[in-house]
Amino acid sequence: MIKLKSINKESSTIGIIAPASTDDIEKANKNITLFKKLGYKIKLGKNIFNSYGYLAGTDKERADDINRMFADKEVDAIICYRGGYGSIRIANYLDLNTIKKNPKIFCGYSDITLLLNYINKKCKFPTFHGPMINSDFDDPITEHYFTNILENINNKITYNLKSICNNNLKVYNSRDFKGRLVGGNLSIICSTIGTPYEIKFKNNILLIEEVNESPYVIDRMLSQLICSRKLDKLQAIILGHFTDCTSTKNTLTIEEIIEEKLLPLNIPIIKYFPFGHDYPNITMPIGVKFRYDSKKYLLIQE
């Protein structure tokens, strides 16, 4: 896999783009100002403040910002402003040759799940499932993993699950395993099945997180993955935040759904790893191979 250049606060420039949804300009400027406190120089995408309905500009404008940021020799890393919706609309406009020739840190989550997995699959360098510009970097654990991983990108990562999960860790079908990290947001994972942007499931470790979906919707999406046989060759599943995935009506809980749908797969299921739509939001490299030590609860980069 192609290696990336790490970033540092003294000299690195971070490009900021909005590949999916738009935001209020005043709110966006406030979030960008807060991000600047981390100490990096920044460069804004040409179309970052554009608006086209619920999108941050037309499909071509948003794709052009990604292509330009990868081509720009001054830009050392690219962090998405936010997710929302729209990444699938721009994937066909990505200049994959330019992106592959200019490998850089590319970070985001939520709707950006599609771009993280697609760029990794096509261009053969790691992308990063982690916080965005509108995230809360005042959360110390979120900020620590973001800066520490991206500033030490050539050092191998070890996640101590007992420590990170703050004793909330739960592991089903526990045993050692290894594979590449793929996935992210459950809705996006499901929506790409049968498209050129479908993630690589076979022999990999699937990350799953979600936000603002009722339990029956989580049930439906997991059922889709199971019925499509996409989970048959997985090595393991790591579950992150399921934020506001509740209902006041008669319902199964997320815990009940996970146990009923996923445990029969008879693969390790790690629950309560903090990534996704809540805090902490741990940065994780997509496409990188890890092994899990079930005795020490360590996820170790190979």
110-114, 167-171, 204-208: segment of lowest average pLDDT: 167-171
Which residues fall within 8 angstroms of residue 81, CB to CB, at 6 or more apart? 16, 17, 18, 23, 28, 31, 32, 48, 56, 132, 133, 134
Q: Tell whether the model's pLDDT for residue 250 goes beyond 90.
A: no
| pLDDT at residue 247, as a whole number | 81
- DSSP 3-state assignment of 89? helix
Tell me how far apart the terminal alpha carbons of the chain are, to the nearest angstrom: 12
User: What is the pLDDT averaged over residues 85-113?
Assistant: 98
Q: Name the band, by pLDDT with cuts 50, 70 and 90, for residue 188.
A: very high
| pLDDT at residue 245, as a whole number | 95
| Residues 27, 49: Cα–Cα separation, whole Å | 11
Catalytic residue numbers read 110, 209, 277
- DSSP 3-state assignment of 238? strand
- DSSP 3-state assignment of 30? helix
pLDDT digits (tens, 9 = 90+) for 124-181: 999 999 999 999 999 999 999 999 999 999 999 999 999 999 889 999 999 999 999 9
| pLDDT at residue 47, as a whole number | 95
Q: Name the band, by pLDDT with cuts 50, 70 and 90, for residue 2.
A: confident
User: What is the pLDDT averaged over residues 260-288?
Assistant: 97
Tell me which of 94 and 168 has the higher pLDDT.
Answer: 94
| pLDDT at residue 214, as a whole number | 94
Which residues fall within 8 angstroms of residue 43, CB to CB, at 6 or more apart? 13, 14, 15, 16, 69, 72, 74, 75
- DSSP 3-state assignment of 275? coil
| pLDDT at residue 104, as a whole number | 98
The pLDDT mean for the chain works out to 96
| Residues 224, 188: Cα–Cα separation, whole Å | 12
pLDDT cut 90: percent of the chain above it: 96
Side chain identity at residue 122, one-letter code? K
Phi, psi of 91 (to 5 degrees): -55, -35
pLDDT cut 70: percent of the chain above it: 100
| pLDDT at residue 166, as a whole number | 84
Q: Tell whether the model's pLDDT for residue 263 goes beyond 80.
A: yes
Domains of the chain: 13-151 (3.40.50.10740), 158-301 (3.50.30.60)
What does the block give as tokens for 225? 């993955």
What does the block give as tokens for 138? 């005042």
**Model-level pTM greater than 0.75?**
yes
Q: Tell whether the model's pLDDT for residue 248 goes beyond 80.
A: no
| pLDDT at residue 1, as a whole number | 81
| Residues 126, 77: Cα–Cα separation, whole Å | 12
Q: Which residues pair with 172 in a beta bridge?
A: 269
User: What is the pLDDT averaged over residues 241-246?
Assistant: 96
